[in-house]
Amino acid sequence: MYKLSERSKKVLYAVVQSYINYPDPVGSRIVTKRYSFGLSPATIRNIMADLEDMGFLTQPHTSAGRIPTDLGYRFYVDSISSKGDVSANIEIEILHGLYNRLQVLKNNIELLLSETTKSLSALSHYLGVAMSPAPDVTVFGKINLLKYQSDKVAVVLFTDDGRIKNKTLQVSPEISQKDLNRIAQYLNSEFAGLTFDEIRMRLLKEISKDKTKCDTLISRALNLCREALYFTFNELFVSGLSEVLELPDFADLNKIRELSKAIEDKHMIIKLLDKLSETEGLKVIIGSENTVSSLKDISLIVSPCKEGDRQVGVVGLIGPTRMNYAKAMYIVENTARFITKMLTER
């Protein structure tokens, strides 16, 4: 890694700051004018040339000013995260906006997350995203099997964190409610406290073991269980497309197409958030830091939400790399904190 002199840092910071506020390439004159270094444009020019050599800045073309590279943004983000220089009145907005909307939804985390994305995007003018926890951190709560019409079984699954999942299964030879209750009881005692990844593994083992015995009745029950327990836990919520379309960064049709494809391919975002949600606290991914190539022109800010010390979701923002990181990070952090607080202290 390069070592930057204190002065270079200040200039780099100023360039990024200016570009974030104003979507025009930043020239040496602007830097001297908007930020009072005691230096002439020529000197700034030299510094900026150095910063370009080091990979922090780049030029759209020879006679334009400079704009930050992803590395430049990274420097910026790393230096603000310790500061926290956003006006505090956003917080009040957040609290008010969220409080009224979400208070009602305490008991429905999925709806709560989905509403949160709206609030996030409204506050930030970026894409609000949220995701409910993956099966490897979702803990089994309770299962109910309800007979429904003659040949159908409704599966109602409670996760430990208060989500309810349901589905209908068709069972070819009828099963009585009594038998269903017994199966449910078995599952409840067997799987209490396990995550769904663990449960799946256990079931898989069970089934392969069972095959040797060839007991059709038990194997039927096992298959039923497997089906009954298969749900998509990772639900992704996104909103605010019309917000980001107002940004100059998405004035280009191709950029919009890329973004809309990225949004539609939820699977990919889920995978990404999944990986990120393992870490604690606020996380910022800038442009090509992202391994997923289709997201290499956008940045992502995420933070997990908790209830007690169980994770109940991830919230975040997606925007252009030229993003108001300070504000966006502030919003994400406080939204996550707010939800955590609300869920924990009830």
Partner DNA sequence: TTTAGCACTCTCAACCCTTAAGTGCTAATA
Partner DNA sequence: TATTAGCACTTAAGGGTTGAGAGTGCTAAA
* Interaction of residue 59 with DNA, rule CB under 7 A: yes
Q: How many residues does the chain have?
A: 346
Closer CB to a copy of itself, 29 or 267, in the complex: 267
* Interaction of residue 4 with DNA, rule CB under 7 A: no
Number of Cβ within a 10 Å radius of residue 150: 7
Number of residues that bind DNA (CB under 7 A): 25
Strand, coil or helix: what is 168?
Answer: strand
**Least gap, CB of 264 to a copy of itself (angstroms):** 5
Which DSSP state fits 151? T
Binder of DNA out of 22, 34, 46, 79 (CB under 7 A) = 46
Please choose which of DNA, a copy of itself, none residue 267 contacts, taking the beta carbon within 5 to 8 angstroms, the exact cut-off set by kind.
none
Which DSSP state fits 132? P
Q: What are phi and psi of 24, to 5 degrees?
A: -115, 145
Which residues, other chains included, contact 203 with Cβ-Cβ below 8 Å and sequence gap of 6+? 222, 225, 226, 229
Residues that bind a copy of itself (CB under 8 A): 106-108, 142, 144, 146, 148, 152, 154, 156, 158, 162, 164, 166-170, 239-242, 245-246, 251, 253, 256-257, 260-261, 263-264
Give the integer Cα–Cα distance in Å for 301 and 315.
8
Exposed / middle / buried, residue 156 (Cβ in 10 Å: 0-12, 13-18, 19+): middle
**Least gap, CB of 66 to DNA (angstroms):** 5
Number of Cβ within a 10 Å radius of residue 252: 10
Binder of DNA out of 1, 3, 42, 346 (CB under 7 A) = 42
Q: Which stretch binds DNA (CB under 7 A): 25-33, 130-138, 139-147, 301-309?
A: 25-33
Please choose which of DNA, a copy of itself, none residue 122 contacts, taking the beta carbon within 5 to 8 angstroms, the exact cut-off set by kind.
none
| Residue numbers at the binding site for DNA (CB under 7 A) | 24-30, 38-43, 45-46, 48-49, 52, 59, 61-66
